[in-house]
């Protein structure tokens, strides 16, 4: 073992109270210090927190930002989301790979720099982008990629790559990021001025049950995408037996193409933290946790400073705003690169210091969640709404939007449009209006709500963005007519295969088999029966998977098939009976040809 | 103990409130196929072979508890196809060689395949490269045949009061790992329940492979689940 590894690791564990449930923080801190969590460090951690090495390894091996094997001092994670790919990912990847002299996934021989790729990092409006040890670089080109590697070789300090900072709080000394907010439309709920404490004061003038009543009256539905009524969730948590209760904020925003929570965390942190305190008061909780995705680590110090400032102002901590007995405090739990942790029970597992495996339901989190206690998990945007509802009133909120989906929605629009960015719009808006606002032309396919939701064609542009028609957690990805829908579907299948937790059979195995079929058709080797098989395999995966990931992963395939009509003729054809279309004779004999040194003759 | 009444494939079943559908069905002499579920081990809900339709929604019977008046469907053509798919997928995901496997005849995966009438998988073999850990004097792990059901993980914790096994990795890279560099470094004993509960030939005792001759093995004479279906006391 490296000298000091054991003692440093033990010290890190002590810092987190040798608490088994803080295993995420411990592993992240060790990774940061040593570039990996080695077997030796795992032994030490297990000893300190009273666990077993294999349990620590179970956690470490689950999260893509953690590693058992040493990585470079600098790790470049180039974002390979479909939008990055549309904006030139491949050329950037190749340039960086050449400049470093390593292939994707490798580390330079001197152990200095690792180059790898990662799924959507929440920067689709400024793609291609990369995370370099947590520092975000945006709008990459092959030339900028080469240059930043030359710079890194000199100083190995990613922060020095930030020569220009973005707008708003991106220029705050604790953020100092080149990320831009790109807020294109400011609505009254999120982007109007907010006076810290104003919502909490209104809440404290009411009884907890009345606060829940107010949220129910506003008909606020969860902004994560599922649209569960927030007030109902709170009521369930408040009414479930338990010594303690918890308020968790889901800031894991992992859905490809979504980045609105990033902007809300940057610009509306107070509104969010206040929403959590209001929730705490309403359900009788004294502890809140913001689960911040590892990709947004650059916002961590900033968020913690806002929490600290609220403590100073008496808006967090003990006897909040002088109310005897109302205690509520918040900590930030950092994630480490796992899409599934946006699923609420997986998020809870992660906060508890485990792999991000979703849990079996029932029980549901409002009954038994974090550490077995009643827990509410609300999305960033939902909690921001809460603060505004308390300030402006339920009726005000319910007067906006469509009849069954009240309020406004913050959307992230990206892809083939001239004005990618964040738009706060009233619910009920149509995709056609969104395309006009974002200056998209010649649109062929629209992804509403990311790959886990639905892909629509030009025939549905007059639908309504709301929970009863086109539901979305926040992503709108625009594809022009030149983009191949099946290729889009294949890209997202790769994403889900990578991000599946692997717990249940249909998701772990079924998605690979589904991708096989899609790929075969794209390659021109498909038969009409393959399209039918794609549908039935998708249906099987959706019906039998344990959690939302598997239940949603085939959606892009089904979407592509539904709007496939104009393309299907070119893709699949009836074959002569007895012939396997996927068998390519010329490919099959390549090895033999190489051996004998001549081309085969066949008809 | 309060009781509830519900139906499985039209048959009325009485159960104890809080019981899982799988257990309630079993007590009533109805076999719902399963792989990851095992007696009193905490349900895992991972293989999904016990999927049933409950009031129209597909749920895993091993984790779903009974509810008064629930309408459960199990032997429908749709569910039978889903189960065949699942068993198929577990076959192609690993490297299974029934004809050479010493677990043959005792293997629950194989027995389910026979029960479902699967002669050959319909999906392509994924042909993964997987290891065999022979380091332990009395037990070995053949990862080729592991179906990630997690029975050994739970049995080691809950029955043996140890923590020999865990899952590492995620998605298609998920695999079983032991608490040490190899099995011989763990405190696993051949007599541990964790070894007994493996439904397939992944976790095996050494030197006992052919003690029971082929032809006299558990599922050679009767299909899996028949013991439940023919119980006298139901």
Residues A85-143 have pLDDT tens digits of 999 999 999 999 999 999 999 999 999 999 999 999 999 999 999 999 999 999 999 99
Question: For residue A543, which residues of chain B lie inside 8 Å, CB to CB?
Answer: 51, 58, 82
Q: Is A402 helix (H, G, I), strand (E, B) or coil?
A: strand
**By CA distance, what is A55's nearest residue in B?**
B166
Residue-level pLDDT at A565 = 59
Chain B CB within 8 Å of residue A57 CB: yes
Q: How far does the CA of residue A539 sit from the closest CA of chain B (Å)?
A: 10
Residue A174 has pLDDT above 90, yes or no: yes
Question: d(Cα B137, Cα A497) in Å, to the nearest integer?
Answer: 37
pLDDT tens digits along B24-81? 999 999 999 999 999 999 999 999 999 999 999 999 999 999 999 999 999 999 999 9
How many residues appear in chain A?
Answer: 603
pLDDT average, residue stretch A192-214: 98
Distance of CA A249 to the CA centre of its chain: 13
Which residue in chain A has the smallest CA separation from B150?
A: A503
CA distance A363 to chain B (A): 10
Burial letters B93-120, b for 16+ CB under 10 A, else e: bbbbebeebbbbbbbbbbbbbbbbebee
Helix runs in A331-447, H state only = 344-351, 380-392, 394-398, 431-437
Residue A562 has pLDDT above 90, yes or no: no
What pLDDT shows up at residue B189? Answer: 98
Residue that has been written with the tokens 């498909």 in this structure: A526
The Cα–Cα gap between A455 and A443 comes to 12
Residue A413: what pLDDT?
97
Angle at A468 between CA A269 and CA B58, to 5 degrees: 100
A465: helix, strand or coil = strand
Question: Which among B117, B60, B131 is positioned nearest to B88, based on CA atoms?
Answer: B117
Contact of A378 with A47, CB cutoff 8 Å: no
Percent helix, strand and coil across chain B, each to the nearest 5:
30, 20, 55
Interface check B203 vs A, CB under 8 A: no
**pLDDT at residue B185 is higher than 80:** yes
> What secondary structure does DSSP assign to A491-540, as a single string?
HHHHHHHHH----SHIIIIIHHHHHHHHHHHHTT-B-HHHHHHHHHHHHH
Query: Are A187 and A263 in contact, with CB atoms under 8 Å apart?
Result: no
Nearest residue on chain A to B124, alpha-carbon basis: A513
DSSP SS3 for A466: coil
Give yes or no for residue A528 having a pLDDT over 90.
no
Indicate whether this complex's ipTM tops 0.95.
yes
Report CA dihedral (A152, A158, A164, A170) to the nearest 10 degrees: 170
Q: How many CA within 13 A on the CB side of residue A580?
A: 5
CB contact under 8 A, A62 and B168: yes
Mean pLDDT, residues B194-206 taken together:
98
Q: Do A510 and B89 touch (CB under 8 A)?
A: yes
Min Cα–Cα distance to chain B from A499, Å: 7
Backbone CA torsion sign across A175, A22, A120, A158: positive
Q: How many CB pairs under 8 A join A and B?
A: 114
Q: What is the pLDDT of residue B211?
A: 93
What is the SS3 assignment for A455?
Answer: strand
Asked if A49 reaches chain B (Cβ–Cβ under 8 Å), the answer is no
Confidence class of residue A450 from pLDDT cuts 50, 70 and 90? confident
Contact list in B for residue A582 (CB cut-off 8 A) is none
* Window from A103-112, A176-185, A372-381, A468-477 with minimum mean pLDDT: A468-477
Q: Tell me the torsion sign for CA atoms B97, B99, B100, B103.
A: positive
Percent residues over pLDDT 70 in chain B: 99
Alpha helices in A61-141 (DSSP H): 82-86, 89-100
CA dihedral A159, A164, A170, A173 (to 10 degrees): 60
Residue B12 neighbours by CB under 8 Å, 6+ apart: B5, B6
Taking the C-alpha atoms of A390, A391, A392 and A394 in order, what is their torsion angle to the nearest 10 degrees? Answer: 10
pLDDT of residue A58: 97
What's the CA gap between B28 and B48, in Å, rounded? 21
Substitution target from B126, B170, B174 for chain A, most A beta carbons within 10 A? B170
Q: Other C-beta atoms within 10 Å of B218: how many?
A: 14
Q: How far apart are CA B137 and CA B156, in angstroms?
A: 18
- Which chain A residues touch B41 with a CB distance below 8 Å? none
Contact A412/A443 with Cβ under 8 angstroms? no
Best A54, A64, A368 residue to mutate vs chain B (most B CBs within 10 Å): A54
- Describe chain A by its helix, strand, coil percentages, rounded to 5: 45, 15, 40
CB A88 within 8 A of CB A96: no
Q: Considering only CB atoms, which chain A residues are within 8 Å of B43?
A: 360
Residue A58 at interface with chain B, using a CB cutoff of 8 Å = yes
Say whether B171 and A62 touch across the interface (CB within 8 A): no
Does A504 contact B46 at a Cβ distance shorter than 8 Å? yes
């Amino acid at each position: 073992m490296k000298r000091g590894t054991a003692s440093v690791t033990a010290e890190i564990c002590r810092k987190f109270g040798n608490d088994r449930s803080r295993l995420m923080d411990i592993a992240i801190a060790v990774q940061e210090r040593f570039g990996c969590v080695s077997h030796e460090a795992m032994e030490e951690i297990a000893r300190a927190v009273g666990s077993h090495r294999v349990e620590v390894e179970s956690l470490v091996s689950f999260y893509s930002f953690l590693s058992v094997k040493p990585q470079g001092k600098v790790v470049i994670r180039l974002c390979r989301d479909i939008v990055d790919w549309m904006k030139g990912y491949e050329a950037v990847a190749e340039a960086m790979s050449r400049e470093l002299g390593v292939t994707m996934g490798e580390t330079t021989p001197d152990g200095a720099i690792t180059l790898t790729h990662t799924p959507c990092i929440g920067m689709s409006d400024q793609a291609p982008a990369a995370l370099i040890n947590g520092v975000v670089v945006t709008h990459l080109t092959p030339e900028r990629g080469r240059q930043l590697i030359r710079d890194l070789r000199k100083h190995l300090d990613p922060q020095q790559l930030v020569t220009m900072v973005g707008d708003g709080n991106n220029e705050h000394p604790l953020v100092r990021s080149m990320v831009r907010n790109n807020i294109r439309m400011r609505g009254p709920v999120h982007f109007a001025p907010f006076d810290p404490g104003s919502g909490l004061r209104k809440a404290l003038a009411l009884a907890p049950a009345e606060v829940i009543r107010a949220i129910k009256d506003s008909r606020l539905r969860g902004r994560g995408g599922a649209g569960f009524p927030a007030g109902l969730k709170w009521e369930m948590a408040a009414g479930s037996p338990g010594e303690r209760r918890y308020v968790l904020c889901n800031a894991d925003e992992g859905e490809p193409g979504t980045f609105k929570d990033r902007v809300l965390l940057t610009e509306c942190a107070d509104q969010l933290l206040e929403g959590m305190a209001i929730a705490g008061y309403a359900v009788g909780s004294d502890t809140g946790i913001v689960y911040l995705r590892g990709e947004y680590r650059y916002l961590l110090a900033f968020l913690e400073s806002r929490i600290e400032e609220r403590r100073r102002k008496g808006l967090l901590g003990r006897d909040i705003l002088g109310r005897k007995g109302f205690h509520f405090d918040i900590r930030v739990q950092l994630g480490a690169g796992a899409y599934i942790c946006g699923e609420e029970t997986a998020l809870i597992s992660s906060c508890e210091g485990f792999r991000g495996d979703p849990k079996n339901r029932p029980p549901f989190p409002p009954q038994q969640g974090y550490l077995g206690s009643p827990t509410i998990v609300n999305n960033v945007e939902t909690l921001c709404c809460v603060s505004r509802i308390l300030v402006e009133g339920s009726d005000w909120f319910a007067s906006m939007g469509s009849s069954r989906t009240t309020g406004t929605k913050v959307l992230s629009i990206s892809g083939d449009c001239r004005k990618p960015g964040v738009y706060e719009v009233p619910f009920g808006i149509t995709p056609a209006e969104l395309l006009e606002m974002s200056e998209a032309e010649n649109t062929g396919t629209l992804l509403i709500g990311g790959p886990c939701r639905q892909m629509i064609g030009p025939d549905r542009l007059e639908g309504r963005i709301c929970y009863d028609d086109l539901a979305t957690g926040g992503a709108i990805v625009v594809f022009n007519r030149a983009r191949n829908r099946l290729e889009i579907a294949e890209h997202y299948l790769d994403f889900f295969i990578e991000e599946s937790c692997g717990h249940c059979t249909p998701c772990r195995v079924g998605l690979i088999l589904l991708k096989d079929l899609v790929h075969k058709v794209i390659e021109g080797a498909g038969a009409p029966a393959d399209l039918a098989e794609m549908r039935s395999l998708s249906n099987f995966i959706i019906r039998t998977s344990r959690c939302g990931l598997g239940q949603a992963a085939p959606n892009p395939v089904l979407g592509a098939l539904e709007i496939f009509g104009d393309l299907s003729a070119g893709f699949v054809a009836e074959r002569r009976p007895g012939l396997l279309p996927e068998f390519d004779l010329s490919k099959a004999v390549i090895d033999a040809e190489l051996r004998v040194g001549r081309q085969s003759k066949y008809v | 103990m309060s009781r509830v009444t519900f139906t499985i494939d039209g048959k009325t079943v009485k159960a104890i409130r809080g019981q899982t559908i799988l257990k309630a069905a079993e007590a009533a002499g109805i076999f719902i196929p399963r792989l990851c579920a095992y007696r009193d081990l905490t349900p895992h809900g991972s293989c999904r072979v016990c999927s049933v339709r409950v009031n129209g929604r597909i749920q895993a019977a091993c984790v779903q508890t009974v509810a008064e008046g629930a309408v459960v469907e199990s032997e429908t053509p749709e569910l039978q196809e889903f189960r065949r798919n699942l068993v198929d997928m577990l076959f192609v995901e690993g490297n299974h060689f029934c004809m050479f496997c010493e677990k043959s005849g005792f293997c629950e995966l194989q027995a389910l395949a026979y029960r479902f009438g699967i002669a050959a998988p319909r999906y392509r073999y994924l042909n993964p490269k997987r290891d065999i850990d022979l380091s332990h004097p009395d037990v070995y792990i053949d990862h080729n045949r592991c179906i990630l059901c997690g029975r050994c993980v739970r049995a080691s914790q809950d029955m043996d009061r140890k923590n020999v096994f865990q899952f590492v990795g995620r998605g298609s890279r998920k695999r079983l790992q032991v608490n040490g560099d190899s099995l011989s470094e763990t405190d696993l004993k051949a007599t541990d329940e964790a070894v007994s509960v493996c439904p397939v030939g992944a976790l095996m005792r050494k030197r006992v492979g052919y003690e029971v001759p082929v032809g006299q093995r558990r599922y050679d004479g009767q299909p899996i689940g028949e013991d439940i279906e023919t119980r006298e006391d139901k």
